[in-house]
Amino acid sequence: MQKTKQKKDWDKGFCNDNGFCSDCKAYTDVVLDHRSGDTICTQCGLVLEDHAVDFTAEWRNFDDQDSTNDPSRVGARSDPLLDNGVLTVNISNDKKKAVSCVLPRLHKTLQNPDKSLHVAFETLGMMADRLALVTAIRDHAKELYKKADDRKFCRGRNCDAIMAACLFLACQEKGLPRTLKEIAMVANGATRKEINRMKELLKKILEVDSKTTNVGDLSRRCCSMIGMANQDMKAVLETLNKSKEVDVRRSPKSVLAAVMYMIAQLSNDKSTRDLTLHDVSQAADVAVATTKKAYKDLYPYVSRIIPNWFVKLEDLKILCLP
């Protein structure tokens, strides 16, 4: 009778797992009854454990629900960069009660001193999310901003430009650089000129030794945007390194776009060969006309800069004439 009842319950979507049954003397499939908290053997129906604790959430969130009504009873995780963590007290203002009118005014004099930092950290987090940056870069950018704030650097300056500059420096120090144009797109109105100026000031004040962004560091990300294979990416990087030996006076990003277009034409992947000049220029964030000029300057040196392991010398005739 008990086994029959358990078999009916097993069909209701309980969690399956493996466990050792003392009656069966073997490891058997077990199910967890979330309503009663019992772990039951599927072979003999023996209750192996009882009163199991479910650590999952006790509610579900849906897109059509009101986002202001959050059922969570805990706040965000503590932040070591904030003196008071994320603990704050909010006092509602009820005009019908005299006490409620006095408390908010008193509360303004006792506000959390880290409130401005907390707002800045939230803004930095949103910037990093829009650029799809990893957590290590986001945390390092917060550390740089905290150091600048402790030295009273942020007073009277554009905080958005400072946060964007911290994010730019954090990307460089972690080996995942971003261009100033990419940072400016998420800087809430701060221009590239302002971000660059704040970056230079932060490097002096914080004594940050950041290197210049190398186009080779951007090549893998640009190639990934158009779906290039690893072998093609390796050929692009090696071609870029060899292109430094020839006299081509073009910007690094325009050279990158031209090299990507060359490798795309010589690739073994059909989808990569079908890429147009516009697709490559858009991935490298370069104008099509600029890519054409760089391609024209590099074309006489293709036999010297394109690696031999990637393509044979006679196959270079496949390349389009500039």
**In this predicted model, what pLDDT tens digit does every residue of 118-130 receive, in sequence order?**
888 989 999 999 9
**In this predicted model, what pLDDT tens digit does every residue of 1-60 receive, in sequence order?**
344 444 444 444 455 567 788 888 888 888 887 777 788 888 888 888 887 776 766 666
Q: 41: helix, coil or strand?
A: strand
Task: With CA atoms as reference, report the closest residue to 302 among 292, 314, 291.
Answer: 314
**What confidence score (pLDDT) does residue 76 get?**
57
**In this predicted model, what pLDDT tens digit does every residue of 64-117 receive, in sequence order?**
666 556 666 565 566 667 665 545 555 555 555 544 555 555 555 455 566 788
> Which residue is associated with the tokens 């069909």?
11
- Give residue 85's identity as a one-letter amino acid code: G
What separation in angstroms does the CA of 100 have from each of 88, 111, 231, 300? 18, 17, 68, 79
26-30, 54-58, 191-195, 316-320 — which is least confidently predicted? Answer: 54-58
Whether the model clears a pTM of 0.85, i.e. scores above it, the answer is: no
Strands (E) located in the chain? 15-21, 26-33, 38-41, 47-49
**What confidence score (pLDDT) does residue 251 get?**
85
Cβ proximity of 184 and 144 under 8 Å: no
> Which residue is associated with the tokens 């430094």?
244
**Is residue 305's pLDDT more than 50?**
yes
The token pair at 69 is 């009504």
What separation in angstroms does the CA of 159 have from each of 75, 114, 136, 234? 26, 15, 21, 40
**What confidence score (pLDDT) does residue 17 get?**
63
Q: How confident is the model at residue 176 (pLDDT cuts 50, 70, 90)?
A: confident
- Residue 61, CB half-sphere, CA atoms under 13 Å: how many? 9
Distance of CA 170 to the CA centre of its chain: 13
Which residues make Cβ contacts (< 8 Å) with residue 198, sequence separation at least 6?
157, 158, 161, 162, 164, 165
Q: What CATH superfamily classification does 113-206 receive?
A: Cyclin-like (1.10.472.10)
- Torsion angles phi and psi, residue 10, rounded to 5: -65, -25
**In this predicted model, what pLDDT tens digit does every residue of 240-276 receive, in sequence order?**
988 888 888 888 889 999 999 999 999 988 888 899 9
Under CATH, what is the fold of the domain 215-318? Cyclin A; domain 1 (1.10.472)
**Is residue 292's pLDDT more than 90?**
yes
Q: Is the dihedral of CA 281, 284, 290, 295 positive or negative?
A: negative
> Which residue is associated with the tokens 């690893």?
230
Task: With CA atoms as reference, report the closest residue to 145 among 116, 172, 113, 174.
Answer: 116
Cβ proximity of 269 and 232 under 8 Å: yes
**What confidence score (pLDDT) does residue 7 get?**
41
- Start-end of CATH 1.10.472.10 domains in the chain: 113-206, 215-318
**What confidence score (pLDDT) does residue 38 get?**
84
Distance CA 187, CA 128 (A): 10
**What confidence score (pLDDT) does residue 66 get?**
61
User: At 35, which helix (H) or strand (E)?
Assistant: none
